[in-house]
C-alpha cells in the first residue's frame, strides 16, 4: 500500500469552481499533492475542480467524495505554506458567500473573437492608408520629374 504524504491540518475558507459555477468550501487539510475539502454538496468523483485561496490556485481531480467532504489530487505540487500561511494575509479580503469577483473579469470566447476582429479591421485600415500614402508619394515624385524635365527644356530653349 502506498504511504500517505504528511498533511497539514487547517481550517481555511476557499472558493471552488466546478464547470461554470463557484461555491464556498473549507480546506481541512493539505499535503504536497492533495487536500481535503469540507463542502455542503461535494462534487462527484472524477470531477476536475479549481480551488482558489487568496492568490493561490490549485487545479485537481476529485478522488473521493462522501457526505460533506471530498479529497482532491492536485495537478501540480501545492505550496502548502502559501495556501495556509502568511501569504494569504496579503490577499484581498473576502468572506464565504460574497459574490464571485472573478466572473465579471473573465472574457468570453465571443468577446475575444469580436475584439480580435476589431483589431484586425484596424490593422487592415492602417495598411491600406499606408499603401495609399506611399502610392501618392510615388505619383508626386513622377509628376515632379516630368515637370522638371519639361521646365529644363523650356529653360534651354529660352537661352
The pLDDT tens digits of the residues spanning 69-122 come to 999 999 999 888 888 764 433 444 556 666 655 555 566 777 788 889 999 999
pTM: 0.52
CA of residue 37 relative to chain centroid, distance: 25
Listed by start position, the domains of the chain span 8-106, 107-159
**Strand, helix or coil for residue 139:** helix
Q: Could you give the angle at the alpha carbon of 123 between the alpha carbons of 117 and 129, nearest 5°? A: 135
In this structure, the chain runs to a length of 159
**Strand, helix or coil for residue 120:** helix
Domain 8-106's class? mainly beta
Amino acid at each position: 500500500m502506498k504511504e500517505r504524504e504528511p498533511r497539514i491540518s487547517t481550517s481555511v475558507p476557499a472558493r471552488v469552481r466546478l464547470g461554470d459555477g463557484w461555491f464556498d468550501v473549507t480546506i481541512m487539510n493539505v499535503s504536497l499533492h492533495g487536500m481535503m475539502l469540507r463542502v455542503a454538496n461535494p462534487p462527484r468523483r472524477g470531477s476536475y475542480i479549481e480551488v482558489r485561496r487568496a492568490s493561490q490556485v490549485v487545479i485537481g481531480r476529485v478522488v473521493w467524495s462522501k457526505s460533506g467532504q471530498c479529497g482532491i489530487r492536485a495537478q501540480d505540487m501545492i505550496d502548502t505554506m502559501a495556501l495556509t500561511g502568511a501569504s494569504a494575509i496579503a490577499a484581498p479580503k473576502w468572506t464565504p458567500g460574497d459574490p464571485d469577483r472573478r466572473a465579471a473579469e473573465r472574457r468570453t470566447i465571443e468577446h475575444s473573437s469580436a475584439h480580435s476582429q476589431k483589431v484586425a479591421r484596424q490593422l487592415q485600415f492602417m495598411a491600406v492608408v499606408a499603401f495609399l500614402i506611399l502610392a501618392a508619394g510615388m505619383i508626386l515624385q513622377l509628376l515632379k520629374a516630368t515637370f522638371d524635365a519639361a521646365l529644363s527644356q523650356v529653360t534651354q530653349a529660352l537661352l
